[in-house]
Chains A and B, each alone.
Chain A
């Protein structure tokens, strides 16, 4: 499961967070060269759950719209 992170400073979504198998938390930016980001895109296209920054699970339509804004 992934969750978007919204910055109070910029009021923009700046990263996405993922809970790992060992319960640690990884957050990463939307950098095309990042393997975490590449895996994130694959995962949510394959149906892994994505929550918005408030913790609400996003619909497939919302995910598709969000994906279209990413690099």
Chain B
């Protein structure tokens, strides 16, 4: 059997053919543990689709939803829609942001003489044409690199990219579980949040001068998907990862128990501390970045404690931070009546509700 020599470039990471080249998680916008594709109007202030946060300042409002509108090769995108217009004042901003963990960016060696160049790429689609922008910032938001791109045709998918030279100065966290870098896509911003594109600048800027005021158009839409940051000087094909793998990557930061398919779905195992107070242990499906520090419940009444003889709905539950680890969450709280038996074991489960949703967050 003859052997074919592999071109040497194929074996080098600089050739950009290797897997897991994308430092962005959920760049395909497939995972939405918090909202399962439901419209959120107004858009949440904070995390929306997994790993993607929305932040705004100003009187304008927007809504958020995952959408099935997508360019060839993708099946979903993030959709933002202007619900109240405004003319951005100096300090206003509307951004999509992903904080990327230091462990995921440490090899870029930013802040050193060996700083590596990266290329940001994405597919975008907007009802408003013009110049749009974004930025990369360090964790202290004391150093920013703004980039700009054009959307020349409305309601048409456009692939954009920006190559960013690695910064040899500035404070970057390196290999830690803190924020390695912030990636921002700006939809509108006032002048004090914008700087000239194309160079590293001291200060915190989330976009480039010339940014279109997207939020000034009533009903304006903006879709984004296929977002990637990779080492190298050019954008290459999107780093498609298996759905299960991408979900697990996202679960390092957020884990949701969704009872939509089981009205009595099990949440965890509990013990009654008193007749009206329970402690529940929830094993985490992957080790989280840090012990989760927030718990969101669709409603306490969507859950109960039961020993299959006595069942009682939750009244008020919270995280027990001192006993929660990266692999196990402990939550505790009261139930609606004093019908538990102290020190007895119980099962925490759905309370005959397919709306039950429990979210544990360890986000950056």
Contact with A along B6-48 (1 / 0, CB 8 A): 0000000000000000000000000000000000101011100
Taking the closest CB of chain A, its distance from the CB of B319, in whole angstroms, is 6
Cα of A23 to Cα of B298 in the assembled complex, Å = 7
The answer, among B40, B321, B361, for a CB contact under 8 Å with A22, is: B40
A68 within 8 A of B: no
Given the interface pairs A7-B320, A9-B273, A17-B318, the reply to whether A36 lies near B42 with Cβ below 8 Å is no
Question: Which residues of chain A in 1-42 are interfacial with respect to chain B, using CB atoms and an 8 Å cutoff?
Answer: 5, 7-10, 14-15, 17, 20-29, 31, 33-37, 39
Chain A CB within 10 A, most for which of B297, B298, B318:
B318
B293 within 8 A of A: yes
Interface size on B, residues (CB 8 A): 31
Residue of B nearest to A25 (CB): B297
User: A5 to chain B: which residues have CB within 8 Å?
Assistant: 316, 318, 333
Q: How far is the CA of A14 from the CA of B290 in the complex (A)?
A: 18
In angstroms, Cα B298 to Cα A33, docked, is 24
Q: Are A17 and B316 within 8 A (Cβ)? A: yes
Contact across chains for B319 and A23 when beta carbons are under 8 A apart:
no
Set B42, B295, B332: member contacting A21, Cβ < 8 A: B42
Contact assessment for B296 and A20 in the assembled complex, using a CB-CB cutoff below 8 Å: yes
A: number of interface residues (CB 8 Å): 25
Query: Closest approach, in angstroms, between the C-beta of B72 and any C-beta of chain A?
Result: 33
Residue in A14, A17, A22, A26 whose beta carbon sits within 8 Å of that of B320 in the complex:
A14
Could you tell me if B42 and A27 are in contact, using CB atoms closer than 8 angstroms?
Answer: no
Q: Which residues of chain B from 293 to 316 have any CB-CB distance to chain A below 8 Å in the complex?
A: 293-300, 316
B154 → chain A, closest Cβ, in Å? 30
Is B274 an interface residue, CB under 8 A from the partner? yes
Contacts of B318 in A (CB 8 A): 5, 14-15, 17, 27
Q: Is the CB of A14 within 8 A of B42?
A: no
* Contacting pair A21 B298 (CB below 8 A): no
Contact of B363 with A29 in the complex, beta carbons under 8 Å: no
Does B294 lie within 8 Å of A27, measured CB to CB? yes
Q: How far is the CA of A23 from the CA of B321 in the complex (A)?
A: 23
16 A-B residue pairs with CB within 8 Å: A7-B320, A8-B277, A8-B334, A9-B279, A10-B322, A14-B318, A14-B320, A14-B322, A15-B318, A17-B316, A20-B44, A25-B296, A27-B294, A27-B295, A31-B321, A36-B46
- B residues adjacent to A (C-beta < 8 A): 40, 42, 44-46, 273-274, 277, 279, 290, 293-300, 316-322, 332-334, 357, 361, 363
Extra 5 A-B pairs, beta carbons < 8 Å, given A10-B322, A15-B319, A21-B42:
A8-B277, A8-B334, A15-B318, A25-B296, A36-B293
